Structure 1
């Protein structure tokens, strides 16, 4: 089953064999039901006759008890055998109170769990601006057109570009819809609404190979983070350190952005806040030397996850490329197969500029995944589709907001559901 069918359901006609089978089953069930109804009616008549006889016997018993005084004396003696009736009542009250307390704790437990967001709720919250912005434009678009013509497709392409899905994505999708409209002989715009959403999902799905999982190792996992200043790279590293430590991992950070004092101080503060060690060097030190110290310490101390923060001076690409290549050689000198992940941090609110950054960094160093930050404060979440289509770099981590636990591993199904829910 494809991604679209899993998210929004598959519309298909039932097979003729299934229809016949269901009809035969219904026929047999109806006969059983009729027989059961007849037996129920007989049972009801018999039970009503028994009820009448029982009522007559009860009346005779009541009349006999009224005429019999010894029965009253015996019941009085039985009552006198329990002189401490108040104590019994207290014990009964105590026994009654205990299950009430248990029930009350069971009632409170779901209320506490409701305060914690599920992963899908985080996606829905974070993508609300993107979803409502795209949805409002799409609804307005369909309201303005009464027929499917060339102007319809031109306006649709412009709408998709404004939604930050990228020029290439918009162009390819519009061409596919032109073909689909001819194939289906669609005359009304509403006939293409579901097709548009389906094409967007298929565009992300491609061959079904998402490669979204992080390549954790049995021993040391080395993660290298790149990205321009101000995109939330260092903050993402700090939040991930908290996440992995909460999961029971031994975490260490390396402050390799040595030319910007603020970056080192920020990472050191995150280390103090989440209680993980941070490897730093002297001001203006060679970033590769700091990385080497961090790698040796990580191996010696049995660290599970080592995260390395690097400079993001994209305006000086030659120097940055040389620096990252040197860092890569130093890492491999200690652990030949590392780094296991090279993440590019991108600010979703920059829209198409984020796509430009991804293209430039992919020329500088091989990238295994993207950390998408600040998605909650923007309506430009469609840039994920552009990155997927034009660069084929998977988004592996996503930031949902400002809280320390507002980061998680990216899930395409949760994302597409949060992005497109309610548009069909």
Structure 2
């Protein structure tokens, strides 16, 4: 079963018992009630009087028995309750209500978000924007013609899925429209969504898993300044430590004192060691110290933060190459992952950054940040189509636990849910 069928395929038919139960619950019994009411009105008045007199006798006997029982029991001492003024009584009730509500809030902790709920929340802006444009598009067209396809291609480009994706998808839809002899735009709505899912699925090989090692796993993080690279490292450090791993960080962006201080603060916050060097120190020397310490101390995961001066591409390339050689000097098969951090809110600019960094250093995956604050989540499709670099980590928001491993099914469901 393909990804599209798993996400938007036919729902399971309800069991016959559930259908019968629902039918009985919704059955209109008003006619039966009216018939019963008519029969009740036809009962002779004498019978009604007899029934009422019998009820009265029964109630009288019951009252008498109750009085006898109370006489035989112990005497009851009446305590006269002081009347509370109405204002004081109102204040007392308000106080009780406030206290009870505080206790209720304290006893009812907020339910933790599921992974799918995080995807749905963080992709809300993207889904709403794309869905609104798509719905408006279908409302404006009454027939499938060349103008329809041109407008559709423009809509897809505006949704940040990329020029290449928009062009390829439009051509495929032209072919599908001829094949199916589709005359109405709504006939192509499901096909558009299906093609978007197939585009990401490709050959079914996502390669989204992170390559953790039995011993030390070395992760190298690259990306321009301000995309959330250091913050992502800090959140991941907390995530892995909570999972019982021994984590260490390396502050190799030595040319920015703020970057070193920020990573050191994350280390203090999540209680993991951070390897730093003197200001303006050679980044490779700091990485070497970190690698040696990680091996000596039996660290499970070592995460290395690097500079992001893409404007000095030649210098950055030389720096990253040197860092790579130093890492391999200590652990020949490392780094096991080289992650590029991209800010989703930059849209197509993120795609440009991905292209440039892929020229500088081999990338194994992408960390997509700030997806919750943008309507440009479609850039994931552009990255997948044009660069074939898998998104492996995704940031859902500002909380310390708002980061996780990327799941394409959850992402596509969160992106396209409700459009079909």
Normalised TM-score (structure 1):
0.78
CA distance in 1 between counterparts of 2:147 and 2:137 reads 11
CA distance in 2 between counterparts of 1:297 and 1:41 reads 102
Q: How does 1:89-104 map to 2 (within 5 A)?
A: none
CA distance in 2 between counterparts of 1:36 and 1:371 reads 76
Structure 2 partner of 1:216: 212
Displacement of 1:187 in angstroms is 0.1
Structure 2 vs 1, CA of residues 127 and 155 (structure 1 numbering), >3 Å: closer, same or farther?
same
Q: How many residues align?
A: 414
Asked whether the equivalents of residues 396 and 410 of structure 1 are also in contact (C-alpha less than 8 Å), the reply is yes
Matched residue SS, 1:73: coil
Structure 2 vs 1, CA of residues 46 and 204 (structure 1 numbering), >3 Å: closer, same or farther?
farther
Residue-by-residue CA offset, 1:186-245 (whole Å, 9 max, x unaligned): 000000000000000000000000000100011000000000000000000000000000
Matched residue SS, 2:82: helix
Structure 2 vs 1, CA of residues 106 and 173 (structure 1 numbering), >3 Å: closer, same or farther?
farther
More helix by share: 1
Structure 2 vs 1, CA of residues 70 and 14 (structure 1 numbering), >3 Å: closer, same or farther?
closer
Asked whether the equivalents of residues 220 and 306 of structure 1 are also in contact (C-alpha less than 8 Å), the reply is yes
CA distance in 2 between counterparts of 1:394 and 1:295 reads 26
CA distance in 2 between counterparts of 1:193 and 1:38 reads 64
CA distance in 2 between counterparts of 1:252 and 1:421 reads 39
Structure 2 vs 1, CA of residues 69 and 285 (structure 1 numbering), >3 Å: closer, same or farther?
closer
Displacement of 1:28 in angstroms is 30
Residue-by-residue CA offset, 1:56-109 (whole Å, 9 max, x unaligned): 99999999999999999999999xxxxxxxxx9999999999999999999999
Displacement of 1:30 in angstroms is 29
Extract structure 1 runs of 4+ deviating beyond 3 A.
Answer: 10-32, 34-78, 88-114
CA distance in 1 between counterparts of 2:46 and 2:175 reads 63
Displacement of 1:115 in angstroms is 2.2
Matched residue SS, 1:408: strand
CA distance in 1 between counterparts of 2:359 and 2:372 reads 29
Structure 2 vs 1, CA of residues 421 and 113 (structure 1 numbering), >3 Å: closer, same or farther?
farther
Structure 2 vs 1, CA of residues 347 and 60 (structure 1 numbering), >3 Å: closer, same or farther?
closer
Displacement of 1:302 in angstroms is 0.4
Matched residue SS, 1:152: helix
Structure 2 vs 1, CA of residues 266 and 65 (structure 1 numbering), >3 Å: closer, same or farther?
closer
- Provide structure 1 residue ranges, at least 5 long, that are not aligned to the other structure: 79-87
Residue-by-residue CA offset, 1:381-417 (whole Å, 9 max, x unaligned): 0000000000000000000000100000000000000
Structure 2 vs 1, CA of residues 127 and 98 (structure 1 numbering), >3 Å: closer, same or farther?
closer
CA distance in 2 between counterparts of 1:392 and 1:199 reads 17
Structure 2 vs 1, CA of residues 112 and 367 (structure 1 numbering), >3 Å: closer, same or farther?
farther
Structure 2 vs 1, CA of residues 298 and 39 (structure 1 numbering), >3 Å: closer, same or farther?
farther
Matched residue SS, 1:298: helix
CA distance in 2 between counterparts of 1:182 and 1:237 reads 50
Matched residue SS, 2:151: helix
Matched residue SS, 1:28: coil
Matched residue SS, 2:248: strand
Is 1:49 matched with 2:45? Answer: no
Structure 2 vs 1, CA of residues 297 and 54 (structure 1 numbering), >3 Å: closer, same or farther?
same
Asked whether the equivalents of residues 397 and 410 of structure 1 are also in contact (C-alpha less than 8 Å), the reply is yes
CA distance in 2 between counterparts of 1:178 and 1:272 reads 57
Asked whether the equivalents of residues 65 and 71 of structure 1 are also in contact (C-alpha less than 8 Å), the reply is no
Matched residue SS, 1:396: strand
Structure 2 vs 1, CA of residues 126 and 92 (structure 1 numbering), >3 Å: closer, same or farther?
closer
Structure 2 vs 1, CA of residues 104 and 326 (structure 1 numbering), >3 Å: closer, same or farther?
same
Matched residue SS, 1:361: helix
CA distance in 2 between counterparts of 1:377 and 1:414 reads 18
Structure 2 vs 1, CA of residues 302 and 152 (structure 1 numbering), >3 Å: closer, same or farther?
same
Matched residue SS, 2:206: coil
- Provide structure 2 residue ranges, at least 5 long, that are not aligned to the other structure: 33-38
Structure 2 vs 1, CA of residues 342 and 58 (structure 1 numbering), >3 Å: closer, same or farther?
same
CA distance in 1 between counterparts of 2:329 and 2:94 reads 65
Normalised TM-score (structure 2):
0.78
Matched residue SS, 2:250: strand
Between stretches 91-100 and 389-398, larger displacement belongs to: 91-100
Q: How does 1:165-314 map to 2 (within 5 A)?
A: 165-314=161-310
